[in-house]
């Protein structure tokens, strides 16, 4: 319906320059990943690794998947989906992280005691 | 201005026939790509499932009519309520409005010839059939006594093969739902005719669009959950089973991340139908069009942020409980926006108490009760008391059955003349609507009282000695008895409805193109519509102004003012 269809149709072909540039950037970032892994950054380990991986994923989406030339709605769809996945994972992991005492530590199988020690509501 | 007058379309009918008569034979239906025929097949399939799920419900209610074992043992009872829940949720209310009414009406309301992907549409119907077949097959396998929520670790114990098959069924039904949603998004996005801007879309389409977004975003999580269950069962990977190092509460997170949005997959299209019914049958411009449209989208968004309110007593962390409780309250805002707008639409309208309008009014009353009783369940302190009691059962039946299904049946009556080309017996329709409304409230209002008195849900029995006194059993008995009687009243109402609807197919009066004076595009084409919906691309107008449709005695329906004069 939009007047921009002819510029943004699925047939967009990106130049070899872009493809090669993206490929090289991905290679460099891979080296960075490996390089960073050599140092112990303590609690920063995970954020740094995710940052680099996120940058790589964005490059793939922008150039290889043509999102850069696509209608903004497609970017919105992608970002929206990622937002919901992240939301689901963060809240769920946050919660199961708090429940970790309830399982798998062998010596305190009494769930009710554990719950009480955490001052959680006990319902049976 | 190119306007299709009823006279034009009638003349056209005689040449090529309508979508029902344009081709013959059973195969022309089974492999049809026509959204109208697929919609009709969905109507038949979901109503058949409704009958099956309803029979299970009558079994449950009959068992509970008196304390002690009445007609079935505890195991059979558990299977009954599991199958009732699974069938009603996955086979009836999730697909009923988008799949059946949405499929039929959406492209016509939009002014399009069909949905964007007709083959995908047919595929979605057959996935529904396969999913339904697997669900029926699982009954034969036995062991489905887990409730429709399939909570672990109970559902993954040995000897519950049936759960695996019903899980497969649900997985496939999920894809059916995703395909429908995807199709509707693309159709609304791409197939709008020139002039059909977003704010000319009928509100039913806004609702279906918002629903479709949830279907596409949330349903994959249900699929993933079922795959994880299968992986655990087949490969022994510990995910949900504590014996393998898994976490049963994790299952509840997965399950409700889908199933709470699924509640809005059920209620949003119902709200869309109500917007149409109230406006058309009061012949009054809808009040606050944009607010209703945006509240649909807001509900779709909020629906993803509240799943934890099903888990307040599961050992979920207190912080999460507080957050989920607070966000759950916020859902009340867009819902209330809609209710107030519907009521204001009726203000000074010329309300005609036709069958669809009676169903819409039932919806308003029932949804108000169902929505407001959701609030004590969202408050942490009261939910700890009410969790897993009949209060919850009553609450979600007010929303799922009393609101969604009542709206679906109201919509079915509204579009019945369009779908079948026949008018049903209006008097019987009104009587049926009243019987269903009275029966429904008898059945479920008593359950609020049962719940506050402490009757737990899913119990086969409520004899003295199960933790309560003889007086309590007596009280439970009274309430259960009234509730069961109510369910019989409701059954009478539904069978009456089925009777006169079928009767209308045999000897109903031929329906005019526009029996109610609606102004959206589906009333421009003949009843039933021609194969391609429109012979010329229609000119979309804002569809909540009714002045240009006037009653015509000769047609026994409404015609355009310009036609009436000439
Ligand atoms: Cu919920």
Residues near B365 by beta carbon (within 8 Å), at least 6 away in sequence: B437
The larger pLDDT score, comparing residue B563 to residue B509, is at B509
Angle, helices B248-281 vs B355-372, to 10°: value is: 140
Q: What is the distance in A from the centroid of ligand 1 to the CA of A115? A: 24
Shortest CB distance from A120 goes to which of B190, B257, B318?
Answer: B318
Q: What total of structural domains would you count in chain B?
A: 1
Measured distance CA(B429)–CA(B291) in Å, rounded: 32
Q: Is residue B135, in this structure, part of any structural domain at all?
A: yes
For A15, other C-beta atoms within 10 Å of its C-beta total 8
Q: Is residue B122, in this structure, part of any structural domain at all?
A: yes
Torsion, Cα B150 B153 B158 B161, to 10 degrees, reads 20
Please compute, for residue B513, the number of CA atoms within 13 A of its CA located in the half-sphere on the CB side.
Answer: 30
Q: In chain B, which residues have their Cβ closer than 8 Å to the Cβ of A115?
A: 315
CA distance A76 to chain B (A): 13
ipTM reported for the complex, 2 dp:
0.72
Residue B77: exposed, middle, or buried by beta-carbon count in 10 A (0-12, 13-18, 19+)? buried
Residue B474 Rama label (left phi>0; alpha psi -120 to 50; beta): alpha
Q: What is the pLDDT of residue B281?
A: 95
Q: What is the pLDDT of residue A12?
A: 65
Residues 383-402 of B with CB under 8 A from A: 384, 387
Q: In chain A, which residues have their Cβ closer than 8 Å to the Cβ of B249?
A: 95-96, 99
Average pLDDT, chain A: 73
Nearest to B36 by CA among B100, B94, B127, B117: B100
For residue range B253-273, list pLDDT tens digits in order: 999 999 999 999 999 999 999
For residue range B31-55, list pLDDT tens digits in order: 899 999 999 999 999 999 999 999 9
Q: In chain B, which residues have their Cβ closer than 8 Å to the Cβ of A91?
A: 253, 308, 320
Measured distance CA(B172)–CA(B363) in Å, rounded: 31
Q: What is the pLDDT of residue B393?
A: 96
Nearest to B429 by CA among B513, B363, B499: B499
Q: What is the pLDDT of residue B488?
A: 97
Scored b (16 or more CB within 10 A) or e, B32-41 reads: bebbbbbbbb
Q: In chain A, which residues have their Cβ closer than 8 Å to the Cβ of B317?
A: 94-95, 98-99, 120
Three-class SS of B499-527: HHHHHHHHHCEECCCCCCCCCCHHHCCCC
Q: Is the pLDDT of residue A109 over 70?
A: no
Q: Is the pLDDT of residue B75 over 80?
A: yes
Q: Is the pLDDT of residue B319 over 70?
A: yes
Contact state of A99 with B315 under an 8 Å Cβ cutoff = yes
Q: What is the pTM of this model?
A: 0.87
Contact state of B250 with A115 under an 8 Å Cβ cutoff = no
For residue range B351-388, list pLDDT tens digits in order: 999 999 999 999 999 999 999 999 999 999 999 999 99
Handedness of CA A37, A43, A46, A51 (dihedral sign): negative
Contact state of B304 with A119 under an 8 Å Cβ cutoff = no
Q: What is the distance in A from the centroid of ligand 1 to the CA of B261? A: 7
Average pLDDT, chain B: 90
The string of DSSP letters for B37-69 reads HHHHHHHHHHHHHHHHHHHHHHHHHHHTTSSS-
Q: What is the pLDDT of residue B483?
A: 96
Q: What is the pLDDT of residue A10?
A: 52
Q: What is the pLDDT of residue B267?
A: 94
Band (A2; pLDDT cuts 50, 70, 90): very low
Query: Of the ranges B9-23, B162-176, B468-482, which one carries the lowest mean pLDDT score?
Result: B9-23
- Reduced to 3 states (helix: H, G, I; strand: E, B; else coil), residue B192 is coil
- How far does CA B282 lie from the centroid of its chain? 23
Q: Which two tokens stand for residue B347?
A: 């203000």
Q: What is the distance in A from the centroid of ligand 1 to the CA of A12? A: 43
Nearest to B208 by CA among B186, B235, B230: B186
Q: Is residue B1, in this structure, part of any structural domain at all?
A: no
Q: What is the pLDDT of residue A89?
A: 86
Q: Is residue B565, in this structure, part of any structural domain at all?
A: no
Q: What is the pLDDT of residue B563?
A: 66
Residue B292: domain span: 6-560
CATH code, B386: 1.20.210.10
B240 shares contact with chain A (CB less than 8 Å): no
Query: Of the ranges A71-75, B111-115, B534-538, which one carries the lowest mean pLDDT score?
Result: B534-538
Q: What is the pLDDT of residue B244?
A: 84
Q: Is residue B320, in this structure, part of any structural domain at all?
A: yes
Q: In chain B, which residues have their Cβ closer than 8 Å to the Cβ of A119?
A: 318
Per-domain residue ranges for chain A? 1-70, 72-124
Contact criterion met (CB below 8 Å) for B503 and B158: no
Q: What is the pLDDT of residue B36?
A: 94
Q: What is the pLDDT of residue A101?
A: 52
């Amino acid at each position: 319906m939009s007047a921009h269809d002819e510029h943004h149709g699925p047939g967009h072909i990106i130049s070899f320059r872009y493809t090669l540039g993206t490929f090289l950037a991905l290679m460099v970032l891979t080296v960075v990943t490996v390089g960073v892994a050599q140092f112990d950054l303590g609690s920063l380990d995970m954020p740094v690794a995710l940052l680099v991986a996120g940058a790589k994923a964005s490059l793939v989406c922008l150039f290889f998947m043509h999102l850069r030339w696509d209608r903004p709605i497609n970017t919105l769809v992608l970002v929206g989906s990622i937002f919901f996945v992240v939301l689901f994972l963060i809240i769920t992991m946050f919660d199961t992280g708090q429940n970790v005492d309830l399982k798998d530590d062998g010596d305190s199988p009494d769930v009710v005691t554990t719950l009480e020690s955490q001052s959680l509501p006990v319902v049976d | 201005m190119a306007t299709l007058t009823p006279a034009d379309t009638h003349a056209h009918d005689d040449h090529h026939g309508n979508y029902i008569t344009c081709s013959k034979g059973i195969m022309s239906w089974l492999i049809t790509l026509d959204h109208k025929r697929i919609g009709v097949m969905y109507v038949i399939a979901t109503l058949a499932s409704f009958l099956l799920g309803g029979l299970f419900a009558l079994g449950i209610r009959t068992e509970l009519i008196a304390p002690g074992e009445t007609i079935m043992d505890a195991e059979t009872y558990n299977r009954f309520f599991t199958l009732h829940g699974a069938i009603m949720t996955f086979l009836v209310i999730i697909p009923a409005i988008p799949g059946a009414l949405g499929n039929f009406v959406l492209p016509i309301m939009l002014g399009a010839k069909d949905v964007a992907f007709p083959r995908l549409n047919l595929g979605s119907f057959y996935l529904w059939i396969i999913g339904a077949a697997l669900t029926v097959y699982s009954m034969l396998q036995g062991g489905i006594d887990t409730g429709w929520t399939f909570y672990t670790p109970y559902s993954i114990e040995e000897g519950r093969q049936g759960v695996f098959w019903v899980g497969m069924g649900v997985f496939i039904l999920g894809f059916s739902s995703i395909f429908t949603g995807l199709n509707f998004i693309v159709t609304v996005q791409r197939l709008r005719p020139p002039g059909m801007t977003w704010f000319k879309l009928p509100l039913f389409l806004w609702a279906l669009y918002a629903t479709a977004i949830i279907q596409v975003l949330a349903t994959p999580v249900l699929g993933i959950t079922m795959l994880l269950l299968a992986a655990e069962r087949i490969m022994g990977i510990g995910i949900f089973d504590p014996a393998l190092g898994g976490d049963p509460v994790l299952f509840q997170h997965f399950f409700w991340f889908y199933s709470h949005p699924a509640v809005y997959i059920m209620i949003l299209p119902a709200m869309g139908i109500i917007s149409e019914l109230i406006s058309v049958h009061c012949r009054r411009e809808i009040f606050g069009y944009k607010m209703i449209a945006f509240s649909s989208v807001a509900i779709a968004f909020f629906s993803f942020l509240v799943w934890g309110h099903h888990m307040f007593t599961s050992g979920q962390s207190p912080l999460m409980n507080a957050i989920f409780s607070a966000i759950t309250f916020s859902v009340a805002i867009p819902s209330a926006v809609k209710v107030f707008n519907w009521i204001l639409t009726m203000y000074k309208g010329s309300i005609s108490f036709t069958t669809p309008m009676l169903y819409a009014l039932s919806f308003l009353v029932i949804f108000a009760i169902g929505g407001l009783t959701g609030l004590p369940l969202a408050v942490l302190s009261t939910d700890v008391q009410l969790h897993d009691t009949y209060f919850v059962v009553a609450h979600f039946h007010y929303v799922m059955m009393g609101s969604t299904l009542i709206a679906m049946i109201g919509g079915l009556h509204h579009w019945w003349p369009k779908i079948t080309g026949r008018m049903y017996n209006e008097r019987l329709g009104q009587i049926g609507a009243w019987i269903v409304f009275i029966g429904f409230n008898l059945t479920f209002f008593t359950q609020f009282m049962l719940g506050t008195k402490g009757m737990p849900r899913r119990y086969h029995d409520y004899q003295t000695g199960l933790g309560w006194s003889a007086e309590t059993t007596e009280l439970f008995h009274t309430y259960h008895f009234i509730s069961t009687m109510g369910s019989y009243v409701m059954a009478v109402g539904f069978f009456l409805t089925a009777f006169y609807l079928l009767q209308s197919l045999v000897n109903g009066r031929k329906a005019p193109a526009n029996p109610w004076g609606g102004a959206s595009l589906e009333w421009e084409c003949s009843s039933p519509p021609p194969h391609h919906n429109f012979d010329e691309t229609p000119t979309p107008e804002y569809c909540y102004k009714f002045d240009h449709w006037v009653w015509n005695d000769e047609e026994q329906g409404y015609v355009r003012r310009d036609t009436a004069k000439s």
